[in-house]
Amino acid sequence: MNGENLLLLSFILFSLSLLVFLTNRNLLIMLMSLELMLNAANIALVNFAFVRRSAEPAAWLFMLFAVAAAEAGIGLAILLMLARTFKTLRADLINKLRG
Amino acid sequence: MIKDLLFYLLSATAIVSVLAMFFQKDPVKAAISMFVTLFTTGLIYMLLGLRFLGAIQIIIYSGAIMVLFVVALTALSSFPPALSSKMDFKIPALKNLLTAPVPLALALVLTALLFGPDVQWRSPFAVSLGDLTRSIFIKHAFQFEALSLLLFIAVVAAYVFARRTNER
């Protein structure tokens, strides 16, 4: 278990989440994969805390948790609004700027 | 040795659950896969010595945010379609192969973490809670306050979006 392994895990999780994001048409699952991408970035930050043996990246990680919570809250609110306006959750059917 | 093994097991579980999310069509099952990924990530943090952040990850990410997603799932369940992957993989055997080891590996890891005699929680690199709080509240006090403002704006924005949808 070393820094490279953590970076590799972060890379794999980010790539797979990106794959899920790009191949899905459901907005809810796209938002979930966004959260997972942020989670993968957090693992990369943990790698820096691990390699540098420092609390600094850990402090930033703590702040990123709050950013993720804000992102999920706003994202789901926007999703709810879109779903009520367009009556669907499919990203390819939401093709108007003015609902 | 056992920590390395646990790390690889947890990493494999996280990767397999994201893969399972890729093959899922049901958003509820995708949410469960996401929960497993976030939970195993929290366990990895704990394994690395970041016990506090691991606990926060499990409480906030796989707790609070997942509850938010479950509430959204119930609120949005009336809207079609249930879901869809653009690439339609019709390989049920492969799907079962991918999803079956997830709960098994999780149960194994939890048992090893809780009852394993050789597992040392405090690794040489453990970041103490004191160092972390000093870094957050003294060195990065301004960023912390900016973050509270961000959260406040997020709450107001979510309220505004919900109110507008109610009026339509």
Give pLDDT, residue B164.
Answer: 59
- Answer yes or no: is pLDDT of B95 > 60: no
Q: Which of A31, A88, A81 is nearest to B66 (CA)?
A: A31
| CATH number of the B2-123 domain | 1.20.120.1200
- The distance of B29 to chain A (nearest Cα, Å) reads 10
pLDDT digits (tens, 9 = 90+) for A53-98: 778 888 888 899 999 999 999 999 888 888 888 888 888 888 877 6
Instruction: Give tens-digit pLDDT for B11-21.
Output: 999 999 999 88
Query: Quick one: pLDDT at residue A89?
Result: 82
Taking CA A42 as the corner, what is the angle to CA B124 and CA A57, rounded to the nearest 5 degrees? 50
B72/A79 CB distance under 8 A: yes
B63 band by pLDDT with thresholds 50, 70 and 90: confident
Helix (H, G, I), strand (E, B) or coil at B42: helix
pLDDT at residue B31 above 90? no
Nearest by CB to B86, from A23, A62, A66: name it.
A23
Give me the helix-helix angle, B2-23 and A3-23, nearest 10°: 10
- B56–A62 CB contact, under 8 Å: yes
CB B69 within 8 A of CB B28: no
- Phi first, then psi: what are they for A24, rounded to 5°? -105, 150
Domain residue spans in chain A?
3-93
Indicate the fold that domain A3-93 takes in CATH: Helix Hairpins (1.10.287)
> Cα(A29)–Cα(B96) distance, rounded to whole angstroms?
20
Residue of A55, A73, A76 lying closest to B127 (CB–CB): A55
A7 and chain B: CB distance < 8 Å anywhere? no
Counting DSSP H helices and E strands in chain A, the numbers are: 3, 0
Residues of B in contact with A39 (CB under 8 A): 37-38, 41, 61
ipTM of the complex model: 0.90
